[in-house]
Structure 1
Amino acid sequence: MIYKVSVIVPVYNVEHYLRKCLDSLINQTLKEIEIIIVNDGSTDNSQIIIDEYYLKYDNVKSIIQKNQGLSEARNTGILNASGEFLAFVDSDDWIDKEMMDEMYNLAKKHSAEIVICSLQNIDNHGKLLKKLPELHQLTEKIDLTQDFMIFGEMSCFACNKIFKRELFENISFPKNMHFEDIATIPRLFLKAKTIAKTNKFYYQYLIRTGSITRNYTIKGIHMFDAIEIVKLDFNKSCYNKNIQDWNKFIIFQGFYCFLAYYAYVKDITSRRQMFSRLKSILKNEKISRKEILFYNRFGKNYLSTLSIKKIVFYILQLIKL
């Protein structure tokens, strides 16, 4: 079979969630998909579940490798994919059955290299926690050569998109990097000309209730390593004259998103190192406090859309710069 979409599913110790994820892929209305499951060194019963699907369905491919992390699991999937488009689904999440069908059809309709849908956070019981709309204010087709604004305002999720496979030539997810999506997704956009999107909330992102609190560490400094990787590609791209959009990318990812992580880091030495790196990149990129304060995202001042608590936090950090 010639596959329209290859769905890459990295797996690491998710035996309690994996069936729901895989069932959502098997039951897609788009039948010309291959499901590439990469077991990244799981020590639980995940492989037993994977074997069940591999033996039952011809379009399921099973790959086992030693534990190397999410990026390398995805990269292994990319190397083994044959579909026209690639998609990435985390193994504790699931997707609506029409997702791949509509997104592939949108890609063909608009000759788009990337197609985006919206996400929503769901708890273990299927309860909606939060909707995460993506680009609802934009048209179904976005010509990046005419309007590159999206680059400085988008969220860099890998999971709610499909990508033309050729975009990954000479691009892979960086190994052992904390913000691997931010180091990768913008680089794919820099190679694209046309984006399409649907406003439907097709991707269901599981927030595990009762799970161990996320560990916020010095690894947050990887944000700036990711930005430096993207900058190399930006400078070589056909969009390198769009300096204002590049500055907005720095402000959103390097200031607002970075500080949202930094706020939870407890170690004082780590916080000093991280804030020093923030000051350095803003200085090198000649980003002023005024630009940060008046940063607009999709036509609205971003700071004004946040809660009072967050506004106070960000303004205090601005004063310290």
Structure 2
Amino acid sequence: MTDAILLSIIIPVYNVESYLPRCAESVFSQMTNECEVIFVDDGSTDDSGRICDNYASSRANVSVVHKKNGGLSSARNVGMKSASGQYLLFVDSDDYLLRNAIDDLLSIIVSYAPDIMKFDYTRILGDEGTNVSSPLKDGLYSSESELKELLHRSLRDEHSMILSAWSHVYNSRFIESNNLLFVSEREIGSEDYLFNLQAYLYASSIYHINRCLYAYVARDGSLTEIYRPKLYEKYTDLYKRIMSSFQSKDAYGLFSNDILHFYIWLVYAPVLQQELAIGRKENIRRVRRILRSHDFHDALEQYDSSTLSLKQKFLYSVMKHRLWIILYVIYLVKR
């Protein structure tokens, strides 16, 4: 690893020839000599790979790795292995960086050198953008109590942004020393959840940037918009891996109810919601099977619901007592 490069920007690429130029230019327009860009072409069948080659041949500190298709996690892991920077930033190729993002990140790297940085983002849908902001104050969190609170929020707060690797920057040595790698969403439903929860569990310092540095572009046909069968089984595997990680750090007892909360509401939305949204007989049968399943019902039995809102307590009770028809009616009314 060379000290000359402070920030490695890793851009996994798969069949995004229409979006890639916008993403790339948002990075190139603010790069400094302290940055490198690594495109990881994950077996694209359109012109994306050639576009990456053109960038690499015409710009300094830009490289491309071509690989057989293996999914987002595989591409990110290859990018990490190829990176020479002290810090890692992941940018999805259909998204883009907002103005001054790199300057802001480099400034914090030089001043604080945290294990992790996290930042707010803008969600782009069509021609409209909505800022997604954390209630956290801008600054460094490094005391034991502060780090526990961040992990607590990350397991419970829908705006914690724990779900997205692209809303974080990671110290490379921190990642290496803790042997952190992305596990495929094809196995656990979301590669980001496990990676970030493990990173937060191991971190000794996290800097929160209370500004939007990234534009997340929601588009039809993207991975997050597609119905995914067997999602319950994948999220249950994720839940068990999270439990194992916390147990290995003797932290499960402290966060057990937070982890149960994370799992229960992850199953409710999106797993049960996507089944109810389709509403065919086989989907309703699947909802009933999930509510009867050992892992989910056991989590509901163990969970302390005393801090939930009245609305959440009602939904929790409906799931605990396996009242699938009430869940379906609630979905129909909300729709």
**TM-score (normalizing by structure 1):** 0.84
Query: Is 1:171 paired with 2:174?
Result: no
1:91-170 correspondence runs (5 A): 91-125=93-127, 127-128=128-129, 130-134=130-134, 136-147=135-146, 148-154=148-154, 155-156=161-162, 157-169=164-176, 170=179
C-alpha distance 196-54 of structure 1, shift in aligned 2 (>3 A): same
Deviation at 1:255, TM superposition (A): 1.7
Query: Is 1:214 paired with 2:226?
Result: yes
Give the counterpart of 1:278 among 252, 276, 296. Answer: 296
Give the counterpart of 2:203 among 164, 189, 192. Answer: 192
Deviation at 1:274, TM superposition (A): 3.6
- 2:29 counterpart residue number: 27
1:248 alignment partner, SS class: helix
Deviation at 1:23, TM superposition (A): 0.8
Percent sequence identity is 25
The answer to whether the Cα contact below 8 Å between 1:29 and 1:97 also exists between their aligned partners in 2 is no
Moved more, 71-80 or 240-249: 240-249
- 1:81 counterpart residue number: 83
The answer to whether the Cα contact below 8 Å between 2:42 and 2:70 also exists between their aligned partners in 1 is yes
Deviation at 1:270, TM superposition (A): 3.6
Give the counterpart of 1:248 among 254, 258, 273. Answer: 258
Deviation at 1:29, TM superposition (A): 5.1
Deviation at 1:190, TM superposition (A): 1.6
When the two chains are superposed, the root-mean-square deviation of aligned CA atoms in Å is 2.5
1:231 alignment partner, SS class: helix
The answer to whether the Cα contact below 8 Å between 1:221 and 1:274 also exists between their aligned partners in 2 is no
The answer to whether the Cα contact below 8 Å between 1:152 and 1:246 also exists between their aligned partners in 2 is no
In the comparison of the two structures, how many residue pairs are matched? 299
The answer to whether the Cα contact below 8 Å between 2:300 and 2:320 also exists between their aligned partners in 1 is no
Mark the runs of 5 or more structure 2 residues left unpaired by the alignment.
155-160, 324-335
The answer to whether the Cα contact below 8 Å between 1:118 and 1:201 also exists between their aligned partners in 2 is yes
**TM-score (normalizing by structure 2):** 0.81
The amino acid of 1:233's aligned partner reads S
- 1:231 counterpart residue number: 243
The answer to whether the Cα contact below 8 Å between 1:153 and 1:249 also exists between their aligned partners in 2 is no
Distance 2:10 2:70 in 1: 16
C-alpha distance 10-194 of structure 1, shift in aligned 2 (>3 A): same
Deviation at 1:282, TM superposition (A): 4.1
Distance 2:90 2:290 in 1: 30
